[in-house]
Amino acid sequence: MRFVTLKQALTWLESHVDFEKVAPNRADVPTLQPIRDTLAALAHPEEDYPMIHITGTNGKGTTTTLISTLLAEQGFSVGTFLSPDLQRINERIAVNGEPISDSAFTVLLSRLADVEEAIGVRLTRFEILTVGAFLHFSDMGVEVGVIEVGLGGTWDSTNVINAAVSVLTNVDLDHTAVLGPTVAHIAHDKVGIFRGNGVAVLGTDDLVVADIAQDRADELGCPLVMRGRDFQLESNDLAVGGRLLSFSTPRASYDEMQLNLHGIHQGANALVAVVAVEEFLDRALSHDVVASAFANVVMPGRMEVLENYPLIVIDGAHNPAGVRALAATLDEAFHLVGERRVVLGMLTGREVPDMVEPLLTLGVTEFVVCEPLSPRTQSAELIAEHIRERGGDVTVVSDPREALRYARTQSQPEDQIVIAGSLYLVGDLRAALLALPFQHR
């Protein structure tokens, strides 16, 4: 075996180009040929099981997790590929909810290093993880793979699969330097995951996106199941611990289903997940299966409450649409008695005014601005300047953990502390609060 320890294997992995640390632009987006060549050298492990493929601006991680949970409740062995990770890279490749072990990950990366040397094709870091997921799921004999797109759709490394069901959750402005400046540009990129021999599920009724999705489906000759036309949320109400949902799909109606996730937007994600699994199985789901999956789903770092006095909520809102959803959820579901502080840090490529405006409108006593542990971190001083210009009270504490400590010293038991802006920040501070390891420190 090439690597004896996971540390050695990860050192090799980190020697590859990482577009999560160095943001790509249009000129940097790779072709899919290198990953196709690598998969061919491995005898195409991605063809060993059927797949569900998920893209979207927001909600794709939650939708992916919900789909996997629903399939597991049906008794399937499920491989799930997610990105990014919060605490450890192992989280990205999981079978039946269990991240790949250190020993299995070491062996997997050793095999991929040998293949890279043998065929002379050098992949990016994310492409290696994608191939690794497909290979691991094949080795483990999964019955279905649930694959989350990393970025966009058409040129994402996951788009080498022929998924039975392709899901587009929604489209908003994000990663515009890569995907294009408008919702239409981004939608054209994301519908690139649709397949002529599969079914496409669209989780938004946005007319621009719907027209683009329908045109792509018609071009391919694949059925398109669309929110608002073919399925809809009939109620999405606040409930203790989450949401109470009633919805109809092309195959069934589901009434008063308790979802163990906070946020109005999570109701939409849950609906799309049910429809995707129905289309995969070609039948309705039992109410017991849906109820159990909704009760058991866990989404670390998404509207997650970690402490109560003061209330500490973390959320991976990392783009304007995500922040708008965060603000709406805080307003509806988390009654404020005392003061609210936001520990905020974000990466470059974000429009700072669009990120802070929903929180300013919501009402924040104080912003504590920091710099997430990423080469792409946005200047805390620059963020603070934008907040001050809009009349907000802001304190700069560059180190994330020191920023959290400062927010706690300023808060009373009845106050709230919200952590948001970057998944790097959320992962770091979640690890600090739960005494977990964090690989990026």
Look up tokens 């621009």; give the residue.
208
Q: Please report the DSSP string for 266-290 in residue order.
A: HHHHHHHHHHHHHHHHTSPPPHHHH
pLDDT at 135: 98
Q: Chain-centre distance of CA 261, in angstroms?
A: 15
Please give the chain's pLDDT, 441 residues, in tens. 689 999 999 999 999 987 776 655 444 556 899 999 999 999 999 999 999 999 998 889 999 999 999 999 999 999 999 988 888 999 999 999 999 999 999 999 999 999 999 999 999 999 999 999 999 999 999 999 999 999 888 999 999 999 999 999 999 866 555 666 688 999 999 999 999 999 999 999 999 999 999 999 999 999 999 999 999 999 999 998 899 999 999 999 999 999 999 989 999 999 999 999 999 999 999 999 999 999 999 889 989 999 999 999 999 888 888 899 999 999 988 888 899 999 999 988 778 888 999 999 998 999 999 999 888 899 999 999 999 999 999 999 999 999 999 999 999 999 999 999 998 999 999 999 999 887 776
Whether the CB-CB separation of 186 and 72 falls below 8 Å is answered with no
Nearest to 282 by CA among 255, 249, 257: 249
DSSP code per residue over 384-433: HHHHHHTT--EEE--SHHHHHHHHHHT--TT-EEEEES-HHHHHHHHHHH
Looking at residue 58, its pLDDT comes to 86
Residue 368 and residue 401 in contact, taking contact as beta carbons nearer than 8 Å: no
pLDDT at site 84: 86
Query: CA separation (Å) from 102 to 4, 95, 252, 314, 376?
Result: 11, 14, 42, 27, 28
Instruction: Answer whether 33's CB lies under 8 Å from 119's CB.
Output: no
Q: State the pLDDT at residue 336.
A: 87
Residue 401 CA, chain-centre distance (Å), reads 23
What tokens does 288 get?
Answer: 């017991």
pLDDT, position 26: 46
Residue 203: the pLDDT is 96
pTM, rounded to two decimals = 0.92
Domains, the chain: 6-296 (3.40.1190.10), 304-434 (3.90.190.20)
